[in-house]
Amino acid sequence: MKPFQRALSLSIALALGSLSLSAQAQVTLNVISGGSQNMVDYVTDYLGPLFEKQNPGVKVSVVGTGPDDAGSQKMLEKLQAQKAAGLATWDTDVIVPNQQKTGEMVQAGLLLKYRDSISTGKYAVSQSAKQALGVNVDGYVMPMFESQTALAYNPDLIKNPPASYDELRSFVAKNPKSFGYNGLKGGMSGVAFVVGWMYAYGGNPDVVQQGPYDAKAQAGWKKAFTDLKAFNQQVVFTPGNAGTLDMLNRGEIAMGPVWVDMFHTWQAEGRLAPNLKLKLLSPGMPGQPYYYAIPAKAKNVELAKKFIALATSPAVQAEGIVKRFNWYPGIDANVVKSSLDAKTWNQLFVDVTPTDLAKFSKPFPLAPFFKDMREQYEAQVQN
At residue 204, the pLDDT reads 95
- Average pLDDT over every residue of 201-214: 92
At residue 383, the pLDDT reads 60
At residue 21, the pLDDT reads 45
CA–CA gap between residue 252 and residue 187 (Å, rounded)? 20
Where residue 215 sits, what CATH number does that domain have? 3.40.190.10
Q: Provide the residue range defining the domain that includes 119.
A: 27-146+288-352
Which helix (H) or strand (E) element contains residue 29? strand 27-34
The reply to whether 94 and 186 lie within a common domain is no
- The angle at the Cα of 74, spanning 72 to 75, to the nearest 5 degrees, equals 65
The reply to whether 155 and 280 lie within a common domain is yes
**178-197 confidence digits (pLDDT tens):** 999 999 887 889 999 999 99
Which region among 26-30, 68-72, 113-117 has the lowest average model confidence (pLDDT)? 68-72
CA–CA gap between residue 145 and residue 135 (Å, rounded)? 19
The reply to whether 136 and 177 lie within a common domain is no
**42-66 confidence digits (pLDDT tens):** 999 999 999 999 999 999 999 999 8
- The angle at the Cα of 181, spanning 345 to 366, to the nearest 5 degrees, equals 75
- Eight-state DSSP code of residue 46: I
**220-259 confidence digits (pLDDT tens):** 999 999 999 999 999 999 998 899 999 999 999 999 999 9
Q: Is the pLDDT at 24 greater than 80, yes or no?
A: no
The reply to whether 243 and 367 lie within a common domain is yes
Residue 21 placed within a domain: no
Q: Is the pLDDT at 23 greater than 60, yes or no?
A: no
Residue 20 placed within a domain: no
The reply to whether 249 and 308 lie within a common domain is no
Which pTM value belongs to this model?
Answer: 0.77
At residue 280, the pLDDT reads 96
The reply to whether 237 and 152 lie within a common domain is yes
Would you place residue 18 in the very low, low, confident or very high pLDDT band (cuts 50, 70, 90)?
Answer: very low
Would you place residue 1 in the very low, low, confident or very high pLDDT band (cuts 50, 70, 90)?
Answer: very low
Percent of residues, the chain, with pLDDT higher than 70: 93
